[in-house]
Each structure stands twice: as structure tokens, then as C-alpha cells.
Amino acid sequence: MGKAPTKYQAAHSRWAGIGPYYAMFPAAFADQVIGEYTAPGDTVLDPFAGRGTAVFSASKLGRRGVGVEINPVGWVYARAKLSPAGKELVAGRFADLGKRAKVYRAAAADLPPFFHHCFTPRVRRFLLAARADLDWRRSSLDCTAMALLLVHMHGKREASLSNQLRQTKSMSPDYAIAWWRERGMDPPDVDPVAFMTKKLDWRYAKGTPPKTDSRVYLGDSLKRLPVLEQRMGPLGIKPARLLLTSPPYRGLTNYHYDQWLRLWLLGGQPNALRYGGAVRGKFEHRQRYKALLLRVFTRSAAMLAEDATVYVRTDSREVTYSATTEVLRQVFPDKELRCERQPFSRPTQTRLFGDHAVKSGEVDLILLPVTKQSLKKA
């Protein structure tokens, strides 16, 4: 028998998974939904884009994806995989950072204790050079380099630049230090330039995805969506036939706290303090959470075709589920609502904090025009 195919035999599959990110939905799920409810050339909208899974899938399937993401970590991942720079250019950028790193010797020594336990001195110097020199907001090359650096910044010891540190959870600094000390674990002694250059070999082995006009915009959907709606004509964006998204789950997580270490590399503070206000925290206030959903989905509705499908994956816990359902019914009163339960098939990330309770899973809320028949894949 021939060798069974693996999941990474095409460029899209190697780039789709860029970026450990909390509560991301699988690429296969996005592929399935987009294939069922849209046709090639249609527009797919995601106002809570995360790391850009829906937008990337839309691009891969010949649609135009348009997304908005407020967290710069997710946005960097999304932009990099939608428009990655060439391998040699990225390798050269890492080499440049390696040369620049020596000027950050004093700054590396002044970082808080967590960084000393997490990274060796030369890795700290390299990260500081990347933090200062990579223009990830404006340069496609620097964004690609930053995205790949964020991916490998921390994770399994000897397989990343850090001491043992979970990919999607950087833990609290004090807890991490105590955990490392208890186990006598020091950060791995790696050459960051050689390490990152080697990672490029696997990422680029099958090439890069074709150029696309799909895009994820950095910012707050409440501000970005009205501007996009006004500029749809000049930008060549057709009214979306599918809104595919997964809003933040109420009271479950703080996306900025969860990604604090990567946010530091993007220019944030060197601590894990929770911050961000009404649209960046854990959405613990029920009425404010519901108001946020109402405003975002109302703004999104202005960018949809009349016969568009709205597909929302959300938390099935009662408070989040009921708030999301009420908002969707209010914003889209002429659409027929269908609910499909999606139980968790694997342990959730809350287990990292000792929460072993059985979770109720997620639910897909699908809103279709009453007369619309879903487009089935051939």
C-alpha cells in the first residue's frame, strides 16, 4: 500500500494553522460552512476574525474574505498567512535582528525576573531587537517575520525559544517562575537566528498560498465596519453572502491577558495585568456584553446581501447562548433560526487552570432567509 497522505501536503495547510489562539474554530469547519453556503466569487464577512480562519478559508475556496480583529496578535497571524513574504527575505530579516541584538544587552538584563527564567540572555536580546525593529503594522515582510516569531516564542521546551510554557497560555509570571524552580528547569540554550531559520524550512516547504484580495483589518468592529460599509464600492467588496464568526464568550476569557507575552513582543507592557475595557476584557457584565453583540451584528448586517446566511458559533452556556440568540433574532427578524449543538470532543483550555468540570460545548446558530436553500457541495 502507498504511504497515506498527511494534512500538510499543500501550502494552504501549512499556513492555515499559524498562531496558537484561544477559542479558534478549526479550518475544516470554516471550509465546510463556506463551501455549503456560498459560491466562488462570493464575499464572506467575519467581524470577530481572531487569527483569520474564516477569511483564510474563504480565500482558499475562491471567495473574498473580509474580517476585523481587535487583538493585534490575531491580526498579525491573519495578515501573515493571507500575504506571506518570501522565505529568503524573512530569513534575511531574522539575520538582521541577530546582528542588532547586541545593542540590547543592558535592556535584556533589566527585564522583569519572569523573562530571565523564560529566555536565555541571547534570546532576550533577540526578542528586544524584534520588538523594536519589526514594523509589523506597515511592512508585509516584518509582519510575516513577527507572526512566525510569535508562533515559536514559547511552547514546549527545546521546541521553542522559551522554557517550558504552554502555547496558548503563558500562565501568570509568578506561577510560571515557581513551577520552573520546583522542577529545576532552565530555558533552553538556543541560537534564535538559527532556530527561526530552520523553522522556515518546514513552513515554506510547500510554498505559499496564492495572492488574494481577502483581508483582515486591525481595529474595533464598532469603528471599522461603518467605514468598510461606506467604502465597499471603491474597495470592490460585494455585499457578503455569508457572515461566519465566533464572538467572544461571555465571562470565559480575557484575550489580552491570555496573550500578554506575545502582546509584549508587539510593544505592550512586560506584565500580565488584565486591561482593555469593555471590548477587551472577559465580558463579565451581561448587559454590556449583549449591547456589544447587538452593535456589532447591526453594523455587520449593513454589509450583507439580502439573502445572506448568518452562521455563528458560540458558547452553549445559558447566559452566552441566550444573549447571542436574542441579539440575532432582533437583528435578523426575517431569517429562520436553526440551532446545532457541538459538544467538545477534547478537553478545553480551562483545564490549564484546574477546571476539570464537564463543559456543555458549543452551539451553531444558523440564520437563513425562509425561502433560501443552502448551496450544497457537488
What pLDDT was estimated at residue 73? 95
d(CA 239, CA 242): 9
d(CA 304, CA 66): 12
φ/ψ of 59, rounded to 5, equals: -60, -45
- What residues contact residue 186 under an 8 Å CB cut-off, 6+ apart? 117, 163, 180
- What residues contact residue 330 under an 8 Å CB cut-off, 6+ apart? 294
Listed by start position, the domains of the chain span 11-74+213-369, 85-203
Which run of H or of E encompasses 233?
helix 232-235
What pLDDT was estimated at residue 286? 74
Q: b/e per residue, 222-251, with b = 16+ CB within 10 A?
A: bebbeebeeebeeeebebbbbbbbbbbbbb
What pLDDT was estimated at residue 168? 63
**Could you tell me the pTM of the whole model?**
0.89
Q: Do 225 and 300 touch, CB atoms closer than 8 A? A: yes
What pLDDT was estimated at residue 320? 86
> Does CATH place domain 11-74+213-369 in 3.40.50.150?
yes
Q: What is the pLDDT along the chain (378 residues), one digit of tens a residue?
A: 344 445 778 999 999 988 876 656 889 999 999 999 999 999 999 999 999 999 999 999 999 999 999 999 999 999 999 999 999 999 999 999 999 999 999 999 999 999 999 999 999 999 999 999 999 999 999 999 999 999 999 999 989 999 999 866 666 889 999 999 999 999 999 999 999 999 999 999 999 999 899 999 999 999 999 999 999 999 999 999 999 999 987 655 556 667 889 999 999 999 887 554 444 444 456 788 899 999 999 999 999 999 999 999 998 888 889 999 999 999 999 999 999 987 644 444 444 434 444 446 899 999 998 765 444 444
Radius of gyration of the chain (CA): 21
What pLDDT was estimated at residue 281? 45
